[in-house]
Amino acid sequence: MLKPYIVFFTEREHGRDTFIPVYKIFKKDVNIDTTLIWWGQERKGLLGEDFKLGPIKVNRKPDVLIVFRSWWGQEGKAAHFAARQDIPVVMIDHGATFVFNDRQKYKKSIYPASVNCLWGQHDLDLWRRWGNKDKLVVTGNPLYDQIIEYTPPKINLPDEFALLLPASSNVQQRFLIPSAEKLNKIIPVVVKTHPLEKEKDYYKQRYLTYDKSWTLLPLLYKAKLIITHSTSAVIPGLFWQKPIFMHSYDESWYYFSEFKDKYFHIFNFKQDDVWNSKVISKAIKPDKKHFEIFGHIADGKNSVRIVEVIKSYVK
C-alpha cells in the first residue's frame, strides 16, 4: 500500500524557506512520502514525474498540495488543477496583513485552497472583515519557531545600525525614504529589500543592502531600531523588543489611522525626517506579549501546528 504523499510547491524563495521547517518534520516521518519543489530552482524529497499537477510533474497523485500563494502564477495553476482533481490544497500564507486594504479583494476567498494557515489573530480579524467565510486557522509562521533561542548566523554588519524595511517599489514610500536618508547621517542604515522589489539598485547604491530571504531574521535580531512602512516583516522585532518606527499614512483604500489608533502603544508612528539622540532614546519598545497579537504563541510549535492541519486532509 502506498504511503500518503504530500507535495510542497512554491515559486518564491521566501515560500521555500517558509516550507522547510514543515517539510523537515514530514521528511522524518517514515510513513509519509513528500516532495518539495521551488519552481525552476530546487527539488527535494521523493523523485519521479508520473503525475502532472498543472505546471509541475510529481511522483504520483498527491494526497495534499501545499502552496504559499494559491491565487497567482504557477502555484495558482497547480492549486486550481488540484482542486479539480479533488486534491486538498493547504496554503501556508505568504504574509500577514497589518492594515485593512480595500485593494486586497482576493482575500474574500482562499479558493482553490481548502484552508489557509495564518500568522496571528490580528491577521485573522482582517480576513473576516473581508467577509471571508473559508477555513482559516491561526498556526503562526513556521519561520518563527527559531526565534525563541535564536543564534544569528554570521553576517557583515556595523556594530550599531538601523534596519530599513521598505515596501516594494513606490508603495507607501513618501515619508520613509527621506527619513532613512536623514537617519543614515546619525546611524548607519542597512536595508533588507522586499521580496518583490524591482529597484534594488536604488538601495544598493546608498546603503549596505541584503535581498535574500534568510537575512531578515539576523538583521532584525541585530538592529538597534527598525524603520518601515507597515509590514509583517517586523513581527520578530516585536519579540526581540526592538523600537519600530512606522512611516505609513492613509490613502483612499488604505486605512492606516485605524491601525495607528489601536496600536499607538506598540509602535512609533512617524511622518517626518527629524532624527536625534532623544527621538531614538525615548522610542517606544514593544513587549514580548505584543508579538502574540501578530505572530501567535511563541512556543516554537508553529510548524507542528501546520503539520497537524495538513495531516487532517490526508484521506
Tell me the pLDDT tens digit for each residue of 245-300.
Answer: 999 999 999 999 999 999 999 999 999 999 999 999 999 999 999 999 999 999 99
Average pLDDT over residues 95-117: 95
Give every CB contact of residue 285 below 8 A, 6+ residues apart in sequence. 241, 242, 243
Euclidean distance between CA atoms 310 and 116, whole angstroms: 10
For 162-295, CATH gives: 3.40.50
Q: Which residues in the chain belong to E strands, given as ranges?
A: 5-10, 33-38, 42-45, 51-53, 56-58, 64-67, 89-92, 115-118, 136-138, 162-165, 189-192, 208-210, 225-228, 244-246, 268-269
Query: Which pLDDT score, from 0 to 100, does residue 138 have?
Result: 98
Cβ atoms of 4 and 33 within 8 Å: the answer is yes
For the record, the C-alpha cell of 33 comes out as: 512520502
Q: Rounded CA gap, 243 and 224, in Å?
A: 8
| pLDDT at residue 111 greater than cutoff 80 | yes
pLDDT score for 169: 64
Q: Tell me the pLDDT of the chain averaged across its residues.
A: 95
* pLDDT confidence of residue 249: 94
What's this model's pTM, rounded to 2 decimal places? 0.94
Whether 168 has a pLDDT exceeding 90, the answer reads no
Match domain 5-146+299-311 to its CATH number in 3.90.550.10, 3.40.50.2000, 3.20.20.70, 3.40.50.2300. Answer: 3.40.50.2000
23 membership: H or E segment, kind and range: helix 13-27
- pLDDT over threshold 70, residue 132: yes
Where in the sequence of the chain do the CATH 3.40.50.2000 domains occur?
5-146+299-311
Q: Is 11 left (phi over 0), alpha (psi -120 to 50) or beta?
A: alpha
Calpha distance 243→83 (Å, rounded): 44
**137-159 pLDDT, tens digit each:** 999 999 999 999 999 999 999 99
195: preceding bond cis by omega (within 30 degrees): no
Q: Whole-angstrom Cα distance, residue 213 to residue 277?
A: 31
Residue 313 clears pLDDT 80, i.e. is over it:
yes
